Amino acid sequence: MDDIIIPDDISFCAGVDEAGRGPLAGSVVAAAVILDPVNPIAGLADSKKLSSLRRERLDIEIKEKALAWSIASANVEEIDTINILHASMLAMKRAVESLNILPDYVMIDGNRCPDLNCRMQAVVKGDQRVAAISAASILAKVSRDNDMLVLHQQYPEYGFDSHKGYPTKQHMQALSQYGVTPLHRRSYAPVRRVIESQGE
């Protein structure tokens, strides 16, 4: 934790993380959270290391106890136009700017920061090391998973309810059999290969 330094004059520090950089379909979702230091939340951790039930319970608790929280996204068209890295940064920027309390310091999971008009710090493995980033990772993951459940209703043959858009064997077989939907990221190589093989 030695490299995590929060200035003494900070009133509101937000943690920021995203979910959905790896999937072949759906938006990338980011969340920003300002935790309440007098109302701590037990069990915060990297969302990927929690069960879906535990994430959903923490999602509710975070929204009840945090001083402020926000969820934002960048859609498939934006991902394909500006690439997933820049789309992730855009979603993070939108999440921070949508908070009803504007933070004076922002801590972002990863090794780079979005374009924000405040002091900030990128924290590698921040979702495991900073409580507010862990909280943001949980909100982003739960929100994105719920989005994919909605998309599953539109395209049940793809199995979005199980793989959430990641390139599993089931998903790749569905792509090969049914083709590419408007939800798919055409800039991603596996999707592009399907498009080329099917002459779309």
Is 200 within 8 Å of 57 (Cβ atoms)?
no
pLDDT digits (tens, 9 = 90+) for 21-45: 999 999 999 999 999 999 999 999 8
**Residue 3 banded pLDDT, cuts 50, 70, 90:** low
Tens of pLDDT, residues 131-141:
999 999 999 99
The mean pLDDT of the chain is 94
Tokens of 187: 């800039």
Segments making up each domain of the chain, as ranges: 13-144
Local structure of residue 61 (DSSP, 8 states): H
CATH architecture of 13-144: 2-Layer Sandwich (3.30)
Residue 169 carries which side chain, given as an amino acid letter? Answer: K
Give the global pTM: 0.94
Beta bridge partners of 157: none
Per-residue pLDDT tens digits for 152-185:
999 999 999 999 999 999 999 999 999 999 999 9
DSSP code of 184? B
Residues 85-112 have a mean pLDDT of 97
CA nearest to 72, candidates 112, 33, 44, 37 = 33
